[in-house]
C-alpha cells in the first residue's frame, strides 16, 4: 500500500511565502538606524518609541515609521540593542532614551516580539508609567515560546513560560494604569498561539494568517497602531 502524502495547501504556501519575504525585508533593513534616533519634540507632542526584537535592529521599523509619521503627525524615536541582551538590560537602554525625550510629551511604546516585553517591563518595573501613555505589542511572547530552550544562552531565560520576567509582568499587569494593546497573528511560528501573544490585561487584536515577522509590515497591524496613537487624550 502506498501512503498518501498531503501537500501543503495554497493558503499554507502563501503564508510561508509572506513570512519568508518579511524576514528578507528585515535582513535588508538590518544595517539601518543602528544609532539612537531622538526627535526634536516639544511638550504636548506625541512621540512613538519603537523597540525591536531579537536579532534585529531599529531599521526593521522603517516602513512602519513612515506611516506613523505621515498619518499621525507623531515624532518617532528608536534605538538598536545588541543580540543576546535580556529584557532588563534592554529596558535600561529604553529608559535612557526616554530620559532624552522632553517631559510633557505623550509617549507611546511599540514593541515587536522581545521588544513588547521590554516596553511592559519598563512601564511596570522601572517607573515608566509616569512617562508613557500606552504600550502596544506585536507578536510578543507573553506566554513564553518553545524556542526559549534553544536561546537560553541569549534571552531564553526571559522567554520560557515559567520565567521570572514573564511572571512579574503577569502579576503587575492589573496594578498598572498604562493601557496595553496586544497584536497577534494566527500563523506565528515563534509564538505558538495567539493566546501566548496576549498580555494579561488590555485589548487584543488577532490577525488571521499573519506570521511573526509579517506583522512588522502588515497594513492592518500598522492601521491599528495608527488608530491608537491618534486616540484623543484623556480629559
Percentage of the chain with pLDDT > 70?
A: 90
- Dist CA 45 CA 105 (whole Å): 5
User: Which residue segment(s) compose the domain that 99 sits in?
Assistant: 38-229
Res 228 pLDDT > 90: yes
If one counts the domains in the chain, the total is 1
Nearest to 64 by CA among 101, 35, 26, 7: 26
| Inside any domain, residue 43 | yes
Confidence of residue 235 (pLDDT cuts 50, 70, 90): low
| Inside any domain, residue 175 | yes
Predicted local distance difference test score (pLDDT) of residue 47 = 98
- The phi, psi pair for 78, rounded to 5°, reads -160, 165
| Inside any domain, residue 2 | no
- Dist CA 116 CA 118 (whole Å): 5
Over residues 133-168, the pLDDT tens digits come to 999 999 999 999 877 766 665 666 888 888 999 999
Nine cell digits for residue 69:
509619521
Contact residues for 7 (Cβ-Cβ < 8 A; gap 6+): none
- Dist CA 90 CA 61 (whole Å): 17
Predicted local distance difference test score (pLDDT) of residue 147 = 76
| Inside any domain, residue 66 | yes
Q: 87 and 120 in contact (C-beta within 8 Å)?
A: no
Cβ neighbour number for residue 108 with a 10 Å cutoff: 24
- Dist CA 187 CA 9 (whole Å): 14
Confidence of residue 11 (pLDDT cuts 50, 70, 90): low
| Inside any domain, residue 15 | no
How confident is the prediction for the chain on average, in pLDDT? 91
Give the pLDDT mean for 222-226: 98
| Inside any domain, residue 115 | yes
- Dist CA 210 CA 45 (whole Å): 32
Predicted local distance difference test score (pLDDT) of residue 161 = 85
Please identify which residue in the block is written with the cell numbers 491618534. Answer: 230
The CATH number covering residue 192 comes to 3.40.50.1820
Over residues 201-214, the pLDDT tens digits come to 999 999 999 999 99
Q: 199 and 205 in contact (C-beta within 8 Å)?
A: no
Three-state SS for 9? Answer: coil
| Inside any domain, residue 5 | no
Three-state SS for 132? Answer: strand
Predicted local distance difference test score (pLDDT) of residue 167 = 96
| Inside any domain, residue 124 | yes
Q: 166 and 118 in contact (C-beta within 8 Å)?
A: no
Over residues 173-195, the pLDDT tens digits come to 999 999 999 999 999 999 989 99
* Predicted TM-score (pTM) of this structure: 0.92
Predicted local distance difference test score (pLDDT) of residue 2 = 35
Nearest to 27 by CA among 218, 216, 228: 216
- Dist CA 233 CA 235 (whole Å): 6
Amino acid at each position: 500500500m502506498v501512503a498518501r502524502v498531503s501537500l501543503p495547501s495554497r493558503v499554507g504556501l502563501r503564508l510561508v511565502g509572506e513570512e519568508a519575504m518579511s524576514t528578507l525585508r528585515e535582513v535588508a533593513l538590518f544595517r539601518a538606524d543602528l544609532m539612537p534616533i531622538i526627535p526634536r519634540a516639544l511638550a504636548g507632542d506625541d512621540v512613538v518609541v519603537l523597540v525591536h526584537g531579537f536579532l534585529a535592529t531599529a531599521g526593521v521599523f522603517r516602513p512602519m515609521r513612515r506611516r506613523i509619521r505621515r498619518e499621525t503627525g507623531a515624532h518617532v524615536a528608536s534605538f538598536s540593542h545588541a543580540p543576546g541582551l535580556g529584557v532588563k538590560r534592554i529596558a535600561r537602554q529604553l529608559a535612557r532614551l526616554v530620559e532624552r525625550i522632553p517631559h510633557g510629551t505623550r509617549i507611546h511604546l511599540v514593541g515587536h516580539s522581545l521588544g513588547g516585553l521590554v516596553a511592559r517591563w519598563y512601564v511596570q518595573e522601572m517607573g515608566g508609567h509616569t512617562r508613557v501613555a500606552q504600550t502596544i505589542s506585536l507578536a510578543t511572547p507573553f506566554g513564553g515560546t518553545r524556542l526559549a530552550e534553544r536561546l537560553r544562552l541569549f534571552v531564553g531565560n526571559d522567554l520560557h513560560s515559567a520565567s521570572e520576567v514573564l511572571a512579574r509582568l503577569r502579576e503587575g499587569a492589573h496594578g498598572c494604569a498604562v493601557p496595553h494593546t496586544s497584536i497577534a497573528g494566527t500563523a506565528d511560528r515563534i509564538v505558538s498561539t495567539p493566546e501566548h501573544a496576549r498580555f494579561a490585561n488590555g485589548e487584543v487584536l488577532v490577525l488571521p494568517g499573519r506570521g511573526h515577522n509579517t506583522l512588522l509590515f502588515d497594513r492592518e497591524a500598522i492601521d491599528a497602531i495608527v488608530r491608537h496613537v491618534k486616540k484623543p487624550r484623556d480629559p
